Structure 1
């Protein structure tokens, strides 16, 4: 009898299990894999959805544009054009048109934070021009590749071309008065999408952009390096092909100091980079004196770049470094009486970049 008790208890327990009451079957929905957001001529929201079609062997997606007064209404209107209920729980990327990004983007992102099934880990980026035109051109060139735009953004994150952000990670910064964020900046090239740099934001509004090497240096100064960061600079004497050096940063040390003198705010960003040479055809790197000269030349070039990056950040009123956050924490009396949006563009930020060639490469 005692041996049969566990069996009886188990059977009774199984009878009380309710099962998956909230399951959503794939056969009952049309998954939304990507989304582009613009504003139409009447001031309404224009959403462009990417929906894979599993009914055909090629698995080519559909790209459908729908308008509505709110982002939620556009999804409801999308449902009217489909034979299944649209589902955004597996969404992989959100692309915001440049014109829409210059407005308060939370108005179009609110629906993601309120819906418990939203894919908050979806990548988010700004598109140069209109997101609708971008996505439809991408579909015309290579229909299947539009499903993998998020992978292209992840690749750029690894190379420190763009920050590692998603819908969830930008939410708190979006409402932080002492810090701003940046997003990947994408445009349509002749053969498909190109990640060109980063879009700069002040609070919830796009105010500028940095491209190429400037974007990489900005992320290094903000201590947001990915797995690697490759930079090409003029390092030779001729200024021609072969006199440029490409190096990869493999170690970074960054220190931000913020202090006040009277009512003036000062900030220093000390950035130390150890790099390995990946290409430099003009000279062998066996001579220590020659290496020191190259260190000095590259350091000077990156310092010049860093100063230009900070000038453009202040021009865009984008406090990616969180200087305002330091003031809130350590100089709160000053913070309460200042208008940071008016003050930040005029404070003194001094970058100091130091480069050391620590690995000359296999052939040196």
Structure 2
């Protein structure tokens, strides 16, 4: 009798275990969203331009998978009523369904950027398979011409256009932005977007600075030098920031000094007095000297003089940047955010887009030479 009870107990355990395994198998999700690479054509990069009759021209960078053209790139343009419609027309030209989930960069033609860019980006935020981490930039002229020219000059480099932008981020020329990152700022009433600005040169594409935006519309640009200053004022700094400045009134090669910014401390103080906004942006830079042929950096007095001269020079550049930001009505420093947070009654009374160009912004840059040279 005891043996029989033991056998029945073991049987019940086996039944319970079997039922649990079956239930777990039913509840376990499989790869419901699996997409086989052989069934799609990956889009590695995209360019957006205006087309006649209010249509959109979309240019795609796609790897060629034909047997006799492996490891080559195709640049294909299609026109549609909108971005999604243009992609449907692309599907008609390919032997597999186009897939943008691995896209590495998105380039906006300048005419597109000078309109409301969300009109063109809306499809990306609605599609769950969009590559929202793709780098985004504005190109001078048409992005279709830009991509075709880059394809002719440097076919292999066109795939790595995003790495070119990443390199500029590391050098503090452009901020770290991608398709997802700009969405929040684009609709933020207290801050504006800046993004990389690319141009085609004799040797191929290069990052020339940043494009300035007011809300969703491009309103101006900054060159490389001013872009670095703008990023520092906005409290954005890459891994290695290098600046070359004039140290005397002369024009000789030896008059130039190259600085490596080791550390920065930025403070933004915003006050509202008598219905007028006063913003003070102070920037303390600890720098190392990368190159200075005139030398004499063993002398403490000489180092102090150079630090004062560099502080004055960078403050002048900072004032130029502020003037261009206000002319473009681009609140890249987020001054409006401070008004919303600490002076909300004033914020409710004004139209920030009309008020920002008229406010007083005073930048101050102080340089401290921490490393005059490796041998000293």
- Worse overlay, 335-344 or 47-56: 47-56
**CA deviation map 1:139-158 (0-9, x unaligned):** 01121211000010001000
**CA deviation map 1:253-298 (0-9, x unaligned):** 0000000111010000010000011000112311000000000111
What is aligned with 1:229? 241
List structure 1 runs of 4+ shifted beyond 2 angstroms: 1-19, 54-58, 236-239
Aligned in 2, Cα 1:362/1:8: closer, same or farther, shift over 3 Å?
same
Alignment partner of 1:47 is 2:58:
yes
**CA deviation map 1:164-204 (0-9, x unaligned):** 00000110110111110100000001111110100000000
What is aligned with 1:99? 111
Shift of 1:55: 3.5
Match of 1:42, SS?
helix
Q: Output the CA distance in 1 between the equivalents of 2:16 and 2:372.
A: 69
Q: Output the CA distance in 2 between the equivalents of 1:41 and 1:12.
A: 60
From 240, 251, 258, the equivalent of 2:270 is 258
What is aligned with 2:303? 291
Q: Output the CA distance in 1 between the equivalents of 2:194 and 2:267.
A: 20
Alignment partner of 1:308 is 2:320:
yes
What is aligned with 1:26? 37
What is aligned with 2:7? none
Q: Output the CA distance in 2 between the equivalents of 1:242 and 1:137.
A: 37
Determine if contact 1:48/1:64 at 8 Å carries over to the other structure.
Answer: yes
Q: Output the CA distance in 2 between the equivalents of 1:87 and 1:123.
A: 17
- Worse overlay, 347-356 or 333-342: 333-342
| Larger helix proportion of the pair | 2
What is aligned with 1:351? 363
What is aligned with 2:211? 199
Match of 1:78, SS?
helix
Q: Output the CA distance in 2 between the equivalents of 1:209 and 1:18.
A: 49
From 260, 264, 267, the equivalent of 1:248 is 260
Alignment partner of 1:12 is 2:22:
yes
Q: Output the CA distance in 2 between the equivalents of 1:53 and 1:21.
A: 28
Q: Output the CA distance in 1 between the equivalents of 2:62 and 2:157.
A: 13
**CA deviation map 1:123-149 (0-9, x unaligned):** 000001110000000001121211000
Match of 2:179, SS?
coil
What is aligned with 1:61? 73
From 168, 192, 204, the equivalent of 2:180 is 168
Q: Output the CA distance in 1 between the equivalents of 2:203 and 2:324.
A: 30
Shift of 1:10: 7.2
Match of 1:273, SS?
strand
Q: Output the CA distance in 2 between the equivalents of 1:332 and 1:266.
A: 15
Shift of 1:103: 0.2
Q: Output the CA distance in 1 between the equivalents of 2:287 and 2:259.
A: 6
Could you say what the CA RMSD is over the residues aligned between the two structures, in angstroms? Answer: 1.6
From 100, 103, 118, the equivalent of 1:88 is 100
**CA deviation map 1:292-330 (0-9, x unaligned):** 000011111000000000000000000011111111111
Shift of 1:15: 4.7
What is aligned with 1:35? 46
Aligned in 2, Cα 1:22/1:241: closer, same or farther, shift over 3 Å?
same
What is aligned with 1:319? 331
Aligned in 2, Cα 1:273/1:69: closer, same or farther, shift over 3 Å?
same
TM-score, normalization: structure 2? Answer: 0.93
What is aligned with 2:5? none
Work out the number of aligned pairs and report it: 364
- Worse overlay, 185-194 or 230-239: 230-239
Q: Output the CA distance in 2 between the equivalents of 1:152 and 1:133.
A: 18
* Residue segments in structure 2 that go unaligned for 5+ positions in a row: 1-9
- Worse overlay, 13-22 or 334-343: 13-22
Q: Output the CA distance in 2 between the equivalents of 1:152 and 1:240.
A: 31
Alignment partner of 1:339 is 2:356:
no
Q: From the CA coordinates, give the structure whose radius of gyration is larger.
A: 2
Match of 1:143, SS?
coil
